[in-house]
Amino acid sequence: MAFLQLQEDLEKLTRSAKLSDAVQDVDKIIDRLTAARDRVAAANDPHTTSLTLTKLQNPIKEELDGLNSNLNHVYRARNEFNKSLKSAFSKAMGTLPTDHDPMESQSPLINRAIAMHLLREGQFGVASMFINEAQPQTDATQSPQSQTEPPASILQPEISPRSPTPADTIITDADIPSDLTALQSQALQFSFADMYSTLSAIKSHNLLPAICWARENHVELEARGSNLEFELCKLQFIWLFKGSSVNGLPDTSENGIQGALQYARDNFGRFQQRHLREIQQLSCAMVYSQNLPDSPYGPLFDISAAFEDVASSFTREFCSLLGLSAESPLYVAATAGALALPLLVKYTTKTKAKGTEWTTANELAFETPLPRSMMYHSIFVCPVSKEQTTETNPPVILPCGHVLARESLQKLCKGTRYKCPYCPSEGLVKDAKEIIL
């Protein structure tokens, strides 16, 4: 019930506490002052200046009062929600055990997750400030200013026209140690700045930066089996094909059907081996250009959600080439935790009422329903030993494709060679690769 009430309070805050009214008040004040300045400059007369300033006093005072009133309304609404938030979590946390904090020893990992989340969101200045404050200060003689202010180059990184590509800045766990100062590298910031710059262009229906990035990294994308480059070129073709009906540009040699045909000639040749059928469909659609929505190719040319989809695909592939997940791990963990918290509170309350205790370790005592995007299958049971794999006994994949626990493979091997228990394949132990599920 507490969380339902919190949701209602959040919706109330969203409806009532809007800064847009205050912004409009500020714009009105600026416009009024600018108009008065122009009149004074044009008249160049002391009498006109005095009269203009006199007439300006009351309107400016009224608009400032309105601005303060709107801001006070926002502050009150946010303070009320802050009280509701504290109340809801106080009640929830009051039912949970507080004698042990399982994350107490993991503060470096938590700080790293927060810093990486801020960098992924493009908040470079906030990330640098957090890193500086989270790192232990070892130099007692360091000045207060140097302890709190990150370097100017970190707060405002200079972004070149083409930032380093992921192929130049692959990021792995080894590149992100517990020493958070390593996250202040400009190469890392340039990578995320490049991603957000390209995403901004995609949202404004400009696909050229994304196509350029995909073309520069086509070797890595093709090795992953990604179709991102073709999907971008395909959407660019459709965007040009529809011409003035969607992009507002006149039909020329670079826009409309003629521009789309030229674009296909210049770019689709390299995709014929993998996407010949789709290219043929795009070409045949030109016959139905006058009634395309009613043609058999209508669904293929429906791009109502295409730019959002291709933006998600770009983000996923960009982060993958950086060695990162498409979603921020901190966001996923916080969201999953928020979904699990009401069930955890209910379970703890019931077990406490019955006088029982939660005895399971490193896992929840009940299943928590999560969205499909948050379902990860990290548990693997070895088909040979029938035991669950662990960090010290991880799953390994054999060249033939079968997966076993490492200890099971070691028991099967004779010297440095082994025979797969599920097929006639044989091989060397060193060829088995550890996998992370």
Interaxial angle between packed helices 124-134 and 186-203, expressed in degrees from 0 to 180 and rounded to the nearest 10? 150
Residues 215 and 285 in one domain: yes
Does 49 reside within a domain? yes
Q: Which of 274, 301, 321 is the last residue of a domain?
A: 321
Structural domain of residue 416, as residue ranges? 377-437
Is the predicted pLDDT of residue 89 greater than 90, yes or no?
Answer: no
Does 117 reside within a domain? no
Q: Which amino acid is at 239?
A: W
What's the pLDDT score for residue 250? Answer: 67
How much is the average pLDDT of 396-407?
90
Is the predicted pLDDT of residue 153 greater than 60, yes or no?
Answer: no
Is the predicted pLDDT of residue 212 greater than 90, yes or no?
Answer: yes
Q: Give the lowest-confidence range in 54-63, 94-103, 185-194.
A: 94-103
What's the pLDDT score for residue 301? Answer: 83
Residues 401 and 301 in one domain: no
Share of the chain above pLDDT 90, in %: 7
Q: Residue 360 — pLDDT band, cuts 50, 70, 90?
A: low
CB environment 60-71: b (16+ within 10 A), e (fewer) = beeeeebbeebe
Residues 317 and 382 in one domain: no
pLDDT tens profile 175-187: 444 556 666 666 7
How much is the average pLDDT of 324-337?
84
Does 193 reside within a domain? no
How much is the average pLDDT of 352-380?
69
Q: How far is CA 213 from CA 260, 269, 274, 279, in A?
A: 21, 19, 20, 22
Higher local confidence (pLDDT), 351 or 413: 413
Q: Return the structure tokens found at 427.
A: 């091989």
Higher local confidence (pLDDT), 126 or 155: 126
Tell the burial category of 26 from Cβ atoms under 10 Å away from its Cβ (0-12, 13-18, 19+): middle
Does 186 reside within a domain? no
What's the pLDDT score for residue 363? Answer: 57
Rounded Cα distance, 272 and 277, in Å: 8
Higher local confidence (pLDDT), 437 or 175: 437
Q: What is the CB-side half-sphere exposure of residue 101 using CA atoms within 13 A?
A: 6
Q: Which amino acid is at 133?
A: E
Does 169 reside within a domain? no
Domain with residue 405: its CATH number is: 3.30.40.10
How much is the average pLDDT of 318-329?
83
Does 147 reside within a domain? no
Is the predicted pLDDT of residue 414 greater than 70, yes or no?
Answer: yes
Share of the chain above pLDDT 70, in %: 78
Handedness of CA 67, 70, 76, 82 (dihedral sign): negative
Q: Which of 304, 321, 338 is the last residue of a domain?
A: 321
In DSSP terms, 396 is beta-bridged to: 404, 434
Count of other CB atoms within 10 angstroms of residue 420: 17
How many domains does one find in the chain?
A: 3
What's the pLDDT score for residue 232? Answer: 93
Is the predicted pLDDT of residue 213 greater than 90, yes or no?
Answer: yes
In DSSP terms, 397 is beta-bridged to: 403, 433
Does 133 reside within a domain? no
What's the pLDDT score for residue 241? Answer: 85
Q: Which of 90, 105, 132 is the last residue of a domain?
A: 90
